[in-house]
Each structure stands twice: as structure tokens, then as C-alpha cells.
Chains A and B, each alone.
Chain A
Amino acid sequence: MGSHDNEDMGFQHRNEGTLNCPSSGMSTNPLPEKVSRMAMSSGSIFKPSNAPDPFFGSGWDPLVSLSQSDNFGGSSVASQSEFTNPPYPIAMETQGMSSTSHLVQYPSDSSYVEMVPKLPCFGSGSFSEMVGSFGLPECAGISNPGCVANYNPNRDGGIDRTSTMGTQSLDDRQVSEEGALGSSPNGRRRKRVPESSPNKNAEGELNKDMSGESSDYLKEQDEKKTKLEENTAANLRGKQAGKQTKENSQSGDAAKDSYIHVRARRGQATNSHSLAERVRREKISERMRLLQELVPGCNKITGKAVMLDEIINYVQSLQQQVEFLSMKLATVNPEVNIDIERILSKDGNLQNMPITAPQFPSLPQTVLDNELQGLFHMGFDSSSNIDSLGQNASRLKPEQ
């Protein structure tokens, strides 16, 4: 029970609305009972063998129905929902309760580790994660994106519940997923837990990423990381009709398949469309960052619209500069000799931009000489058509 006590403390420490889960676990809480009730009502929740896939897509639906069907007790639920940020308070709580183990505190016993599943993430479907963590069918269907919010409530509720997980899992699919995946994630989770320092430290570590609510994040982060493959698998599932998810989740750590694994963040939607959208957005922001480095003076600019305006202005100004320079070149009739010198200076200056004129001759001329000769030969060719540049392009291609 000592561990349970720790958990309790952790709860309170972590969340304002601690459930005050008795160390004895689920049994003591009214919630778990309800959860179990729900579990029963929901049917074969725990059975890992259930065909989970169909549920994945529906995400929250089962949860909602569950929550609606069983009213866990507004107060308790409410209290639990305090931690969890947003979206699925009730659902999470029920799950949390059931899962008992949840994420909770790292320093807590390894038993918790097992429990820690990623229950909360109901919505999307990365049940694999859920399963992995629990090993229990409990809140299997937690996918990362949704999970974050879910984690909190689950954790709090779940800490004590560790033992009774089996009964509580909410969704059939979750159960099935969990059952299937259970082993691998648990293993990973175990690794995570010992790594993480005691509650406070863990919190500190995690808080860096998220808004830093508390230890909740820690666990979530760790689990997320561990469950990356699973999550991605789950996330991808939505995208790919769930064919690969199971395989991915089962492959566990080695799940980096050909897919681009995406991890849903806390509080974000987890259907396939939003995930794809998010990947796209991240790509775009990545490119925007590169552009920001190219365009001078854009380091302080934040915001896509302003940045894009700056980029457009810069491109426009560069093009105008080219036009101006070509106009200048048109008016100043360059001499052939000057061309050579220019080449020399140019190539010589390619290395160091600021070079004084007298130094031109001292520049490595051997290489330049070859180019010069080539240039002379080329330059005096009869072809005056610019199309010849096209030919040059084809010629140059192999060099590239």
C-alpha cells in the first residue's frame, strides 16, 4: 500500500482535482465500479481478441456512449476531468478509472508502469498504445492525440486501480488492441519509468514540452515516445484503413516502417484528415523556417503571413535588381578583354568576395586559364541564338 500512498500523493500533487484514489485501488472508488459496470455493459471490452478496428475510426463514439450510459457520478467525474484538459473529460475519467495504472507517477512502483497505458487517448485510435501500456484491455483505444487530455484523468484515477484493470476497459476495441499489443508497450513503459526520476523531476522534464501541467505530462511524454510507433500506427490506421496499425503496434519499437510516423500532440484531433493536415502544416512550417534563414532580416518575424510578405518582397527586389543590372550591362558595352578580367575576378573572388583589383593576377590562374580558353573558344562561336544556352544546359546536365 505504500506505493499506493505514493500514488495518492502524486495525484494530489499533480492534479488539483485528485480523485483521492484510495490506495486500495479501484475497488474503493465508486468510479471503478461504474467503470466496471460500463465495461460489462459495453461488452467484451477486455477481450483482446476482439476486432478492434472498426472502433478506431469512430474514436470517441464509444466513449461518449459509455459515459452517457453510465453516469459515473458527476462529482467524481468532474473532479477527474479537472486534470484532463480538455476534451474528453468524462470519457477519460472512466477510462482512467478503469485503467488504474495509468501513467501516473514515474517513481511509483513498476506495477504502475504496467498500468500506465495510454488510456486517455480514446479518440483516435491508437489503441496500440493503449494496449501496450496496459496490457489490459482497459482503455485501449487511446491514441496519442487524444491521449494527452486523457492522460490526466486516467492517471489520477488509475494510479490506484492498477490491479483491476481488466475489468474496466471501456471500449471493445481498446481491449482488443490492448490485448494484442500489451506486451511490447508495457516493456517499453517499464523502461521509461525507471528512467524517469521521481515525480518532481519528471515533471520538470516533461513540462518543457507541453504547457507543463504537471507530472501528467511527464508520463504522457514518455509514453508517447515509447509508444511512438504504436501511436503512429494507430494514427496511420485511420489513414490507411487500419491495416497496418496492428502490425505496427505489434512490431513495437521497431515499427519505423515506410510510413512517416506522426505523433499526435496533446489536445489535437486524431482522425486521419487532421493528422495528414498536421503533417502538411509541419512541412510547410519547416520550409518557412528555411526561407526565414535565407531572407535577411527575418529572424524576428513570427507569423506566416508576414513572413511570406517579406519573402515576396525579397524575391521581387532580387528580380528587379537583376533587371537593373541587365539594363546597366546593356548600356555599358562590355569589352572582350574586360570579360576575361571579369571572369578572372569573378572566379577568383568566388572564394573571397572582397578582393582588391591588383590581386587578380595572383589568383590561381591555372584553373582560370582553362576556363578562359574555353570561354574564348565558346565566346567566338558563331551561334548567336540564345537557344544555344539550352544546348549548353543539356551539356551541363551530366556535370550536375
Chain B
Amino acid sequence: MNSQHSSSRPNSSSLKSRFTLGFLRALKRLNRQPSSSSSPPQTVSSPREMCRRYLRIRIAADASMASAVGSRRAWSRALLLKIRSRQSRSSNSSARRVSMKKKCLGEKIKKKKKLKCCKEINKLRKFVPGGEAMDACSLLDEAAHYIRCLNTQVKVMTRIADN
């Protein structure tokens, strides 16, 4: 799929470019969003603002990354779900439902976890989004793809930040 060879192609449909576009778009939105930074070249003054902005940017990065990957991967689906549920936390009900579903699934998966008693594998679950609900085999699969995408993300963000 594209996402696997994306980094080598300038193609607009590559993962990297998709992520870049999405992320930059989000950044623009974020920059225009807060009232304090309405005039572009204005540094955020209060640390609280900065912190909020940082969080938003981080979420934007993750979300745009997951969007660029799409729903093909379990981890991107889980990540998008998490973000959306967090966004809709204000509405509460949907978030709760989502979290409940995750819990049930997680319990079912505990059996699989026990089968694979490797502790490291369980540790890895925490880092890969959606890793709780996967068995060891697919977890490693998702981890490989996730690492690739993280690499892309870091490269793109480095370029943005360095520019």
C-alpha cells in the first residue's frame, strides 16, 4: 500500500504528503484559532496557553497521522476513536459508551494476553494505540506499521519546526 512506500515518493497520495497536508492544515487552524494568536507573529505568552496549544498540536499531529493512514490499520482506528471520544467528552455519553466497549473487549483479550505470557509484549501494548485488544501476532504487525508512521511523523514535524 502507499503508506508503506510513502517516504520515497513525492506522490501526493503518499502517507507522508497526506500527513503533511493534514498536519499543516491543522496547524493553521490552531494558529488562527486562539484569540491570543490571532495576529500571526505573536508568541504565546502564558504557559497555560502554551500548554494548551502544545496539547492541541500533539493531538492534531496524532489525528492527522491516523487520518493519513486511514482505517486500514487497527492502531489508527483506535487512535482516531480515542481522539474523537476525547473530543466528544463534553457530550459525555458517547465517550462513556466507547470506553465501556473498550473495557469489555479488553477483558476478552486478557485471555489471549495470558496465553502469551511474555511481559514485554504486554508492555508493548501500552505504547501501540489499540494494542490492548490485539493478540501478540497482530500486535507486532501493528507495531511495525506504527513505528514506520511515527518515523514519518517525526521527520515531517522536524522539518516544520526547523523551517
Interface residues of A (CB under 8 A from B): 280, 283-284, 287-288, 290-291, 294-295, 304-305, 308-309, 311-312, 314-316, 318-319, 321-323, 325-336, 338-339, 341-343, 345-351, 353, 364, 367, 370-371, 374-375, 378-381, 383-390, 392-393, 396-397, 399-400
Give the 6 A-B residue pairs with the shortest CB-CB distance, closest first: A308-B120, A393-B67, A287-B140, A379-B28, A330-B54, A318-B150
Residue B148 at the chain A interface, CB threshold 8 Å: yes
Residue B13 at the chain A interface, CB threshold 8 Å: yes
Residues of B within 8 A of A350 (CB): 7, 9-10, 14, 16-17
Residue B100 at the chain A interface, CB threshold 8 Å: no
Question: Does the CB pair A325–B10 fall under 8 Å?
Answer: no
Given contacts A287-B137, A386-B63, contact A312 B127 (CB under 8 A): yes
From A326, A331, A345, A347, give the contact of B58 (CB < 8 A). A326
Question: Does the CB pair B150–A389 fall under 8 Å?
Answer: no
Residue B158 at the chain A interface, CB threshold 8 Å: yes
From A325, A330, A387, A393, give the contact of B70 (CB < 8 A). A393
Residues of A within 8 A of B140 (CB): 284, 287-288, 290-291
From B20, B56, B136, B144, give the contact of A291 (CB < 8 A). B144
CB distance from B99 to the nearest CB of A (A): 18
CB distance from B45 to the nearest CB of A (A): 11
Question: Does the CB pair B137–A284 fall under 8 Å?
Answer: yes
Residue B106 at the chain A interface, CB threshold 8 Å: no
Residues of A within 8 A of B46 (CB): none
CB<8 Å pairs between A and B, sample of 7: A322-B62, A339-B24, A342-B160, A343-B20, A375-B24, A386-B83, A389-B67
A110 to B72, CA, bound (A): 54
Q: Can you name the residue of chain B whose Cβ is closest to the Cβ of A296?
A: B151
From B20, B87, B153, give the contact of A346 (CB < 8 A). B20
Interface residues of B (CB under 8 A from A): 1-3, 7-10, 12-14, 16-18, 20-22, 24-33, 37, 40-44, 50, 53-54, 56-64, 66-68, 70-72, 80, 83-84, 87, 118, 120-121, 123-124, 127-128, 136-137, 140-141, 143-144, 146-148, 150-151, 153-161, 163
Given contacts A305-B120, A339-B27, A367-B10, contact A331 B43 (CB under 8 A): yes
Question: Does the CB pair B161–A325 fall under 8 Å?
Answer: yes
Q: Can you name the residue of chain B whose Cβ is closest to the Cβ of A315?
A: B127
A130 to B128, CA, bound (A): 47
Question: Does the CB pair B70–A347 fall under 8 Å?
Answer: no
Question: Does the CB pair B128–A326 fall under 8 Å?
Answer: no
Question: Does the CB pair A384–B53 fall under 8 Å?
Answer: no
Question: Does the CB pair A333–B124 fall under 8 Å?
Answer: no
* Centre residue among B3, B27, B151 by max chain A CB count within 10 A: B27
CB distance from A274 to the nearest CB of B (A): 14
Number of A-B contacts (CB under 8 A): 217
A348 to B155, CA, bound (A): 13
CB distance from A112 to the nearest CB of B (A): 42
From A314, A326, A396, give the contact of B147 (CB < 8 A). A314
Residues of B within 8 A of A345 (CB): 159, 163
CB distance from B13 to the nearest CB of A (A): 6
Question: Does the CB pair A392–B67 fall under 8 Å?
Answer: yes
A316 to B155, CA, bound (A): 16
CB distance from A97 to the nearest CB of B (A): 42
A390 to B87, CA, bound (A): 11
Residues of B within 8 A of A389 (CB): 22, 26, 60, 63-64, 67
Residues of B within 8 A of A333 (CB): 31, 37, 40-44
Residues of A within 8 A of B68 (CB): 396
Residues of A within 8 A of B66 (CB): 393
A19 to B91, CA, bound (A): 82
Given contacts A346-B156, A389-B26, A399-B13, contact A291 B54 (CB under 8 A): no
Q: Can you name the residue of chain B whose Cβ is closest to the Cβ of A305?
A: B120
Question: Does the CB pair A329–B161 fall under 8 Å?
Answer: yes
Q: Can you name the residue of chain B whose Cβ is closest to the Cβ of A341?
A: B163
Residues of B within 8 A of A386 (CB): 26, 29, 56, 59-60, 63, 83, 87
